[in-house]
Structure 1
Amino acid sequence: MKKLLTLLLVTFLLLTSTFVLSASAANTANGTQIFSAHCAGCHINGGNIIRRGKNLKKQALKKYGMDSIEAVKSIVTNGKNNMSAYKDRLSEQEIQDVAAYVLEQAEKNWH
């Protein structure tokens, strides 16, 4: 009985983690499209054509406290200084997706 419960638990955990990974991949894939359509004009390859230092590279995100999903979602939603707000143009899910994409790309150094 103990082995059966262990086997069921392991199976459940494997299925759950596979689902979570698939959902994450789908979100960043959607985030890629959103970024291309709404963000790449100013932030091509994680840069910033308006203010060079305020780019989307890992070091800059960390320096300015923008290295969490919540922080990126907040600036995409509400904007700041020259950055436009997207709360009226993107859904909450789209904002979540593009924020996940930005952080993923920052980890990869935008390659």
Structure 2
Amino acid sequence: MSLKKLLTAIMLVVIGLNLTFNQPALAADIANGEQIFSVQCAGCHINGGNIIRRGKNLKQKALKRNGMDSIEAISSIVANGKNNMSAYKDRLSEQQIEDVSAYVLDQAEKDWR
């Protein structure tokens, strides 16, 4: 085998290992997000509603209207809060915030059923 082919093969193995073992640290766990939601969020957002501000609910239409229809946007508001919404970055880990955000998006797509 030529040196060029050997180096190419080694690079492909290294790239393959990097892709296999270098997965993103945060992969959302919707089941965990559901548990977090029921403990931390359902008091104000039962069934995706909002007992404080009706228009700021977690239904898909409202999430889109308010630019909150991505995990990143929801994670940011969960972590940092906004207006009447409390910040949870001191109470929840990054993983928990991502999990609950993924759960909210999943439920919004299912119309909270």
Band the TM-score falls in, shorter-chain normalisation:
0.7 to 0.9
Measured after TM superposition, the shift of residue 80 of structure 1 is 0.1
Matched with 1:52 is 54
Matched with 2:73 is 71
1:82 equivalent to 2:84? Answer yes
- Counterpart of 2:80 in structure 1: which amino acid? N
What TM-score comes out, normalization by structure 2 length? 0.76
Question: Matched residues in 2 for 1:40 and 1:95: separation?
Answer: 15
Identity of aligned residues (%): 78
Matched with 2:33 is 31
Matched with 1:99 is 101
Unaligned stretches of 5+ residues in structure 1 = 1-15, 17-22
Unaligned stretches of 5+ residues in structure 2 = 1-19, 21-26
Question: Matched residues in 2 for 1:31 and 1:69: separation?
Answer: 12
Question: Matched residues in 1 for 2:55 and 2:74: separation?
Answer: 16
Q: Which of the two has greater helix per residue? A: 1
Aligned length: 88
Q: Over alpha carbons, which structure has the higher Rg?
A: 2
| RMSD of equivalent CA atoms | 1.2
